[in-house]
């Protein structure tokens, strides 16, 4: 078999004849004072800088303009087209029967003929914002709400709750909220059976 | 001070004993009570400083990385160390089944006892010193040479490969760095002409101070100036002996889990931890005493500058010591860990010859400048 670069290889020195250029690290004893001084200078510079920590409960980071928090709903704009429920990748968003009296002009502009509106399981939502993208009227949207930790188990928000902010929900009668969330949990369980 | 001297002389206890019909109080009893209390105070101060330094270290670590650090428990997070202590005490005390149980229990006390003993001849000021013995500095070096005993004991008793490696490393470092450290201290002893810590500090008094008293007899100066090499050697060796970064080889967490304290939990671990941080304070105090003029003001300033309530110059001592502590923490948070062979090489090939050279420098300074 012919080796194309055989001649070129033959011109290279035999690797065994090359003296090793690497100095055995175990035989060197150095004191890198200059490097230590550089390091000390760097750390001291950082020492006098302002801390970057946000002391969270008291101080909050500014939220980005397009932050994707909990899903919210404008009841006036929803036309019950079910696109959000169809776009939702994991059945977080599903349609429930919900009658909402709109003003005549809004009803003419955004008619919700079947009285259907989306409900959302905030515990299941992956914040992908696909529902917001497909919504033709901009009724369903991502709010900047991110403090969603609750001690309650049910997290399925019916349209009534979806239109409110978290602080508004906290101000409501807890028993009433719990009842609504439990109802939402019942509905999503039923919906999951159909979906599967 | 009058009341204390009366107590030492037994004048306070005498009436009680006379009332009981026992005659005069025995001299030894008053002595024992007084020195017991004094040692207890020193013990408390030294170890609570160690505890405080665990918090200070965490805050400094935070500042050095642009964070804030623990500031929730109490003002500036000061009560954090109480919370930490409570946590350690309430933790389960685990002794491995295969461990040598007695040695395992003894090791933390072996670590803490010599450390506290070594504080006895450290002068906080001219008056604030537990005992001014004639061979003070040799006493300090000898007692602190006991520290590998605790580390080896802990490592061996744990019956754990990481622990024994940590103990052996600690011993190797201590034995290697003992020699340059002691030789560098010999330089100071030559300059001072005394081994007493009080005399060593007094010998660093500057000309200004003697001028105030009317006679500028000799030009004293902080020993860091004629002994700059010695100070450097002492600093490097002391860091290695205490096992602080960049030479925290005995408990290199990336290699040895936690070294000799691997198997320790709860307050037993807390002992090792507190001693480690208290060592920072101890090293700083020693360097201040030997090289930075102890309780003396900068460049032999007049004694009116001293802060009287703490005794003559205890404030200066504290300020200098804390500054050195800051430098140690600063190094700690800057440097990576060296390799074991590098550091042993450094001890024998660099520091040892340097310390001999430093001895020559000390002799010349002693003979031609100070003499």
Chain A residues inside the 8 Å CB shell of B342: 29
pLDDT at A134: 92
**% of chain A surpassing 70 pLDDT:** 84
Res. B284 pLDDT band, cuts 50 70 90:
very high
Which residue in B62, B334, B345 is closest to A43 by CB distance?
Answer: B334
Residue of B nearest to A33 (CA): B335
pLDDT at B192: 80
Q: Is the pLDDT of residue B6 over 80?
A: no
Asked if B345 is an interface residue toward chain A (Cβ–Cβ < 8 A), one would say yes
Res. A30 pLDDT band, cuts 50 70 90:
low
Cα-atom radius of gyration of chain A, to the nearest Å? 32
pLDDT at B216: 41
**% of chain B surpassing 90 pLDDT:** 8
Query: What is the average per-residue pLDDT within A166-188?
Result: 86
Token pair listed for A43: 């750390």
For residues A117 and A73, what is the distance between their CA atoms, to the nearest angstrom? 9
Evaluate the omega torsion of the peptide bond into residue B301 and state whether it is cis, within 30 degrees of 0. Answer: no
**% of chain A surpassing 90 pLDDT:** 9
Res. B306 pLDDT band, cuts 50 70 90:
very low
Instruction: Measure in Å the smallest separation between the Cα of B225 and chain A Cα atoms.
Output: 19
Token pair listed for A21: 């250029």
pLDDT at A19: 64
| Complex ipTM more than 0.85, yes or no | no
Residue of B nearest to A38 (CA): B334
Contact A39/B334, CB-based, under 8 Å? yes
Query: What is the average per-residue pLDDT within B55-75?
Result: 87
Res. A5 pLDDT band, cuts 50 70 90:
low
Q: How far apart are the first and last CA of chain A?
A: 64
Q: Is the pLDDT of residue B219 over 60?
A: no
Tell how far CA B322 is from the center of its chain.
Answer: 12
Mutate to test the interface with B, among A31, A32, A48, A50 (most CBs of B within 10 A): A31
Q: Is the pLDDT of residue B302 over 50?
A: no
Collapsed DSSP state (helix, strand, coil) of residue A93: strand
pLDDT at A10: 63
Query: What is the average per-residue pLDDT within B330-340?
Result: 86
Please report the sign of the dihedral spanned by the C-alpha atoms of residue B38, residue B40, residue B46, residue B48: negative
Query: What is the average per-residue pLDDT within A153-181?
Result: 86
pLDDT at A98: 85
pTM: 0.76
**DSSP code, position A94:** E
pLDDT at A24: 58
Query: What is the average per-residue pLDDT within B40-45?
Result: 86
Q: Is the pLDDT of residue B91 over 60?
A: yes
- On average, the pLDDT of chain B sits at 81
pLDDT at B324: 92
pLDDT at B217: 43
Query: What is the average per-residue pLDDT within A74-84?
Result: 89
Query: What is the average per-residue pLDDT within A121-149?
Result: 89
For the ranges A13-17, A63-67, B101-105, which has the lowest average pLDDT?
A13-17
Taking alpha carbons only, the member of B167, B122, B132, B163 closest to residue B147 is: B167
Q: How many CB atoms lie within 10 A of CB B35?
A: 13
- On average, the pLDDT of chain A sits at 83
pLDDT at B146: 85
Res. B215 pLDDT band, cuts 50 70 90:
very low
Instruction: Measure in Å the smallest separation between the Cα of B121 and chain A Cα atoms.
Output: 33
Domain A71-195 in CATH 3.30.70.20: yes
pLDDT at B295: 77
Which residue in B67, B68, B330 is closest to A44 by CB distance?
Answer: B330
Contact B346/A29, CB-based, under 8 Å? yes
């Amino acid at each position: 078999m012919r080796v194309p670069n055989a001649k070129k290889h033959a011109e290279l020195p035999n690797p065994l004849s090359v003296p090793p250029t690497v100095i055995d690290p175990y035989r060197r004893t150095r004191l890198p004072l200059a490097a230590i001084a550089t390091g000390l200078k760097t750390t001291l510079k950082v020492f006098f800088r302002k801390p970057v920590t946000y002391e969270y409960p008291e101080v909050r980071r500014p939220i980005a303009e397009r932050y994707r928090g909990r899903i919210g709903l404008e009841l006036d704009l929803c036309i019950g087209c079910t696109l959000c429920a169809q776009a939702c990748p994991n059945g977080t968003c599903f349609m429930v029967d919900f009658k909402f009296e709109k003003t005549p002009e809004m009803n003419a502009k955004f008619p919700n003929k079947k009285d259907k509106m989306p409900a959302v399981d905030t515990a299941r939502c992956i914040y992908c914002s696909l529902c917001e993208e497909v919504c033709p009227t901009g009724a369903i949207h991502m709010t900047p709400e991110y403090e969603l930790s609750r001690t309650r188990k049910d997290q399925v928000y019916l349209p009534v709750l979806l239109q409110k902010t978290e602080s508004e929900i906290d101000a409501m009668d807890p028993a009433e909220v719990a009842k609504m969330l439990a109802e939402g949990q019942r509905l999503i369980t039923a919906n999951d059976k159909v979906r599967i | 001070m009058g009341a204390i001297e009366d107590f030492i002389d037994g004048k306070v206890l005498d009436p009680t004993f006379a009332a009981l019909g026992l005659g005069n109080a025995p001299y030894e009893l008053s002595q024992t009570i007084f020195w017991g209390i004094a040692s207890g105070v020193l013990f408390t101060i030294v170890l609570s400083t160690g505890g405080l330094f665990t918090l200070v270290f965490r805050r400094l670590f935070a500042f050095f990385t642009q964070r804030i650090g623990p500031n929730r428990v109490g003002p500036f997070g000061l009560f954090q160390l109480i919370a930490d202590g409570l946590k350690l005490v309430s933790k389960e005390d685990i002794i491995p089944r295969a461990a040598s149980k007695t040695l395992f229990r003894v090791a933390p006390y072996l670590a803490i006892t010599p450390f506290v003993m070594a504080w006895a001849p450290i002068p906080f000021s001219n008056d604030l010193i537990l005992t001014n013995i004639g061979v003070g500095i040799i006493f300090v070096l000898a007692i602190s040479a006991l520290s590998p005993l605790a580390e080896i004991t802990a490592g061996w008793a744990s019956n754990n490969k990481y622990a024994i490696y940590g103990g052996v490393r600690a011993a190797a470092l201590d034995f290697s760095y003992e020699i340059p450290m002691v030789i560098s201290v010999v330089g100071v002893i030559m300059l001072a002409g005394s081994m007493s810590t009080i005399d060593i500090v007094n010998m660093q008094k500057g000309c200004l101070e003697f001028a105030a008293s009317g006679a500028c007899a000799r030009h004293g100066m902080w020993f860091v100036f004629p002994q700059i090499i010695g100070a450097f050697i002492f600093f490097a060796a002391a860091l290695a002996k205490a096992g602080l970064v960049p030479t925290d080889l005995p408990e290199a967490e990336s290699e040895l889990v936690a070294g000799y304290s691997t198997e320790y939990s709860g307050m037993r671990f807390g002992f090792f931890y507190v001693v480690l941080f208290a060592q920072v304070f101890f090293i700083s105090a020693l360097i201040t005493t030997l090289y930075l003029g102890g309780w003396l003001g900068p460049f032999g300033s007049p004694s009116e500058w001293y802060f009287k309530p703490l005794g003559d110059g205890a404030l200066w001592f504290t300020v200098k010591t804390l500054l050195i502590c800051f430098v140690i923490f600063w190094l700690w948070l800057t440097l990576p860990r060296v390799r074991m062979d590098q550091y042993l090489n450094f001890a024998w090939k660099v520091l040892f010859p340097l310390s001999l050279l430093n001895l020559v420098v000390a002799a010349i300074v002693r003979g031609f400048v100070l003499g």
